[in-house]
Structure 1
Amino acid sequence: MTKLIQLIQEIKREYSPISLTFLNQQLRRVQRDKPYAGKTILHNLPLTHETLIKLEVLYAGGAEVLVTSPSFMDVQPGLLHQFVQAGGRWFDDVPEGVQIDICLDCAGELIGKVRPSIGCVEITGTGTNKYTAANIDYPVISVDMSKVKALEAMLGTGEAFVRAFSELTGTTLDGQHFLVMGYGKVGQGIAHHLQPHTSNISVVDKKTEHLALAKEKGLDAINAADKSLVEAAAGKAFCIVTATGIESVVSDNYDARAFLNAQFLANMGGEDEFGAGFPAGRVMCGAKPINFFVDSPTLMHYLDPVFYSHNLGVDLLSFSRLAPGVHAFPDFIANELVAQWQRLHQEGAHI
């Protein structure tokens, strides 16, 4: 464990202390109280430098931590080698024959693979939808169902899309027509970060309140039910980016041929939202979220309060008596975290 903590400490030197404000506060608390002693936690998030910093809290709190990574991201071999050599317990798939107390999940990939004795904490909207639809007999806390997730999904993911798209394509965003499929938290963040570069942004959504908000923001808002309008917009787009959280939403609802005229197709969801109607290789990065193909998929100061909340779900499950089913991360905690983060970073007043 000493080597593992040393590795994490080396990684933390890459980040400014202010970008780790919440995780460092959490670290000091668990070092003192050891609230996770005796618990086995299965941690299923993309293995990155940022998530290793998140794991430090679980180790310091006394947990036995088993680590895997969601299928939508290829693990960096060098980082994985460092992690294992330092003593990290890594599994290519869910370990068999091990009693898991709490799952920390991403995109709902642990559903049906493990039955935690205490419960699960899900970090994404995609996973929250899956857990809600599943007949689970244990409690799940959804970080996505709280305002704190907007810091990552709206601000962090939006910034990450613009940065990743520019880096991976080498093209300018200025004046280009972007079609954003989905105007929830992620879609709103993408559009928000595109607006300094182009005013030619169309968004597609099925919710009336999302369409009204898009119009308020000066965007071209298209009802997802109007197939002809959606396909017409797709035929004129320079780039189409999916952010609905729904697998195969494009192929299942529209004529894929209308979308193939776009120069770039990009997915920002945990699932392949374009689907089988698109030839292999046509969607950027194999239809996986494009920000995971650049360094720092999401900047640390956006992840800091969200990772803090994901970890804090372990405490909430351990000391609350929650009924089976999906529960939102508590609003009173989320709202205070967001207010503290906004004061600290002077950003995100619009969320």
Structure 2
Amino acid sequence: MSRIKDINLWKSGERKVEWVKNFMPVVNTLENKYSSSQIFKGKTIGMCIHLEAKTARLALAFKNCGAKVVCTGSNPLSTQDDVAAYLVREGVEVFAWRGETLKEYEENLEEVLKREPDLIIDDGFDLTVMLYKKFPHLKNKLIGVGEETTTGVNRAKALLKDRGLDFPVVAVNDSRLKFLFDNRYGTGESSIASFMRNTNLLVSGKNFVVAGYGWVGRGIAHKLQGLKAKVIITEVDPIKALEAHMDGFDVMPMNEAAKIGDVFITATGNFKVINEQHFYNLKDGAILANAGHFNVEIDMEALEKIAVEKREIRDNIQEYKLPNGRRIFVIADGRLLNLASGDGHPVEIMDLSFGLQFLVMKWLLEKGKELPKSVLSVPEDMEKELAMIKLNSLNINIDSLTEEQLKYLKSWE
């Protein structure tokens, strides 16, 4: 039985899902192609993912292709209750609501695993880690996992190195269709949109500090650059730091950036990127936000400890007053800026990512027992198939190589 906050919210969730369906030609095409054959019939797909309209659309595509689908949220603040209610109405089991406690969050993960999924879509690897910790008997039943995020892929690789994997984990995040589009354009645009919606403040002219110049950091920095912000990058990787410099950004350590930044957005995947030492150096009224998966990049525990006063000054924004009299504003408790206080990535971007997850689940279903028990890349032909579906939906045609050209490229002479 599903555990959600309010079953009666489904109408607005239905409208949200109907809206995104209009702009998801890739997922729509795959659903139309495989629904008649019911390719997932008899299989249970467990999804630990940000539960909003676009993920609901994917869940319903799986259901319409024969799967039993069980969902939970991958972040205590990113579930949209009306969308969860609509999924339940459509026959999807849901264990999630916005504002879960950590205990409730973990209990909901357990509820999904009690349904003994054959396949898992994970977003951050929490569901898979829970399986290893409390449901080890499922390791032999599980066919495989599609992991959505940088953080989750890193955890999968760490698990592989530490004790090995008992099933294949497909690094969906490492696909070009994922990091070139979702991480860069998706997070870049949605993070800045969330900042503007939640603060109602101008971007142009402000000093924005972006921690990390991976694909997420790049996307955020370039969107800010286009909006005429002054962008500072902090990095630990000398090559990425050099790239940021060549892209026209100022590069400096966080200790220096803390003194001059107006707004800070972390995008590293690491923890304590902005810590107690930095808090005391921040300007009065500095705004902190996080675009990484977990709420550890800003040291919220230290901030809570040193603050002499705390209040919600605006929806999704907490004001912390420090002993030195300065104020720090934190958006969404340091959780995912674009999802905990926004609608997530643009629909068209997630259409690509979720189309990829759909084909990964199909691949695992068909080949999973034969695949290595390791962290695997998405097959290149799968990426190209999806890219062509997207191009066709946009009425864009491209060239193809002739036999003579193919022969030339394979020649060493």
Cα distance in structure 2, aligned partners of 1:315 and 1:304: 16
Aligned-residue offset at 1:9: 7.3
Q: Which moved further from structure 2: 75-84 or 197-206?
A: 75-84
Q: Which runs of 5+ in 2 are unaligned?
A: 1-9, 96-107, 132-137, 305-309, 311-317, 319-328, 397-413
Aligned-residue offset at 1:234: 1.7
The answer on 1:111 being equivalent to 2:128 is: yes
Cα distance in structure 2, aligned partners of 1:154 and 1:20: 19
1:57: which partner in 2?
61
Aligned-residue offset at 1:344: 5.8
Cα distance in structure 1, aligned partners of 2:340 and 2:388: 31
The answer on 1:218 being equivalent to 2:248 is: yes
SS in 2 for 1:113: helix
The answer on 1:312 being equivalent to 2:359 is: yes
Amino acid at match of 1:81: A
Cα distance in structure 1, aligned partners of 2:265 and 2:251: 15
Q: Contact 1:36/1:58 (CA < 8 Å) preserved in 2?
A: yes
Q: Which moved further from structure 2: 122-131 or 202-211?
A: 202-211
Residues 242 and 305 (structure 1), Cα distance of their counterparts in 2 relative to 1, 3 Å cut: same
Cα distance in structure 2, aligned partners of 1:289 and 1:185: 16
1:225: which partner in 2?
none
The answer on 1:161 being equivalent to 2:191 is: yes
Aligned-residue offset at 1:183: 0.8
1:185: which partner in 2?
215
Residues 170 and 257 (structure 1), Cα distance of their counterparts in 2 relative to 1, 3 Å cut: same
Q: Contact 1:239/1:264 (CA < 8 Å) preserved in 2?
A: yes
Q: Percent identity?
A: 23
Aligned-residue offset at 1:206: 2.2
Aligned-residue offset at 1:327: 1.1
Aligned-residue offset at 1:71: 2.7
Matches within 5 A, 1:1-351: 11-15=16-20, 17=22, 19-91=23-95, 92-95=108-111, 97-114=114-131, 115-116=138-139, 117-134=142-159, 135=163, 136-149=165-178, 150-222=180-252, 229-251=253-275, 255-259=278-282, 263-272=286-295, 273-275=297-299, 276-279=301-304, 281=318, 282-294=329-341, 296-320=343-367, 321-335=370-384, 337-338=386-387, 341=390
Number of equivalent positions: 334
Calculate the TM-score normalised by the size of structure 2.
0.74
Aligned-residue offset at 1:214: 1.3
Amino acid at match of 1:137: D
Q: Which moved further from structure 2: 75-84 or 147-156?
A: 75-84
Cα distance in structure 1, aligned partners of 2:392 and 2:231: 30
Cα distance in structure 1, aligned partners of 2:226 and 2:395: 18
Residues 9 and 71 (structure 1), Cα distance of their counterparts in 2 relative to 1, 3 Å cut: closer
Cα distance in structure 2, aligned partners of 1:303 and 1:189: 15
SS in 2 for 1:323: coil
Residues 97 and 9 (structure 1), Cα distance of their counterparts in 2 relative to 1, 3 Å cut: closer
Q: Contact 2:359/2:382 (CA < 8 Å) preserved in 1?
A: no
Q: Contact 1:123/1:143 (CA < 8 Å) preserved in 2?
A: yes
Cα distance in structure 1, aligned partners of 2:292 and 2:358: 22
Q: Contact 1:250/1:256 (CA < 8 Å) preserved in 2?
A: yes
SS in 1 for 2:174: coil
Amino acid at match of 1:303: M
Root-mean-square deviation over aligned CA pairs: 2.6
SS in 1 for 2:47: strand
Aligned-residue offset at 1:323: 1.3
Q: Contact 1:43/1:105 (CA < 8 Å) preserved in 2?
A: yes
Q: Contact 1:177/1:198 (CA < 8 Å) preserved in 2?
A: no
Cα distance in structure 2, aligned partners of 1:342 and 1:85: 34
Cα distance in structure 1, aligned partners of 2:211 and 2:270: 10
Cα distance in structure 2, aligned partners of 1:61 and 1:187: 36
Aligned-residue offset at 1:74: 4.2
Q: Contact 2:355/2:386 (CA < 8 Å) preserved in 1?
A: no
Aligned-residue offset at 1:340: 5.9
Aligned-residue offset at 1:24: 0.9
Aligned-residue offset at 1:178: 0.6
Aligned-residue offset at 1:242: 0.3
Residues 292 and 42 (structure 1), Cα distance of their counterparts in 2 relative to 1, 3 Å cut: same
Q: Deviations over 1:247-305 (max 9, x none)?
A: 333339x6443346561000011112112332374521111112124553211001101
